[in-house]
Amino acid sequence: MSENPIIKAFTTVEELQKYAAGMIARLLNEGIGERGNASIALSGGSTPKGVYQRLGGEPFLSQVDWMRVHLFWGDERCVPPDHRDSNFRMTDEALLRKIHVPAANIHRIRAELPPADAATLYEEDIRSYFGGARPVFDVMLLGLGEDGHTASLFPGTSIVSEQARYVADVFVPEFNARRISLTLPVINAARMIIFLATGNNKAAIARDVIAGKGNYPAGLVKPGTGMLFWLLDDAAASLLTA
């Protein structure tokens, strides 16, 4: 495991998005080269949308053999796939519609189902893709909430301490809604974990999480044998000490 995360700050969000898209394309190609296919767990929220849009355009679109890429999600809101809050809908509009990828490679969380059923089915899908072995995603994209959550691992929720299941559903009091999320054992097993955070509103939490302060779920993201990158714009990096 890399003892320390690699932190890169960018003057503009656009520069970050371009760098992130290029990094993801390279990592996917490495996975395809080494294992014949590659797997990525996509983050929800608003920050990654621009990265997905760039991945779905040139030069990155033609750099990746998307037929060999398997797309998963780090978490999902318990809404239908066409709902405005759906992480799937966001990624479908930004990326999926632009890439030639078999339907079987799109491992959507079926969040329109009862949450416990959706979580069970998603875990079965993950176990099946990884052939029963421990899931090791080539790329794990994560966002950062101002409260230190990541994926749908929110402070004070039981899923944060889940060590057996790869996927769980969880009630999130601040939204008065349930969500479905990968758990830390899966997140931390990934080859490359990439946090994306932009904006002044993320500066304090990014500083604290990177410094290991507080007991935030995002601070529990510690890759086992993989690497951890933070891609920040200057605003989100503005409170980091050297």
Contacts to ligand 6PG by CB under 6 A: 43-47, 74-75, 87, 143-145, 149-152
Shortest Å, Cβ 123 to ligand 6PG: 17
Cα-trace Rg, the chain: 17
Q: Around 240, how many Cα atoms within 13 Å sit in the side-chain half-sphere?
A: 21
Q: How far apart are CA 81 and CA 73, in angstroms?
A: 12
Shortest Å, Cβ 140 to ligand 6PG: 12
Q: Which is nearer to ligand 6PG, 64 or 170 (CB)?
A: 170
Shortest Å, Cβ 120 to ligand 6PG: 20
Nearest to 91 by CA among 136, 41, 135: 41
Shortest Å, Cβ 68 to ligand 6PG: 25
Q: Which is nearer to ligand 6PG, 47 or 105 (CB)?
A: 47
Q: Which is nearer to ligand 6PG, 47 or 183 (CB)?
A: 47
For 195, residues 6+ apart whose C-beta sits below 8 A from its C-beta are 5, 142, 143, 144, 150, 218, 221, 228, 229, 230, 231
Beta bridge partners of 142: 195
Q: Which residue is nearest to ligand 6PG (CB)?
A: 143
Q: Which is nearer to ligand 6PG, 32 or 209 (CB)?
A: 209
Q: Which is nearer to ligand 6PG, 32 or 109 (CB)?
A: 109
Say if residues 78 and 29 touch (Cβ distance below 8 Å): no
Shortest Å, Cβ 100 to ligand 6PG: 26
Bridge-based pairing state of the strands 192-197 and 167-172: unpaired
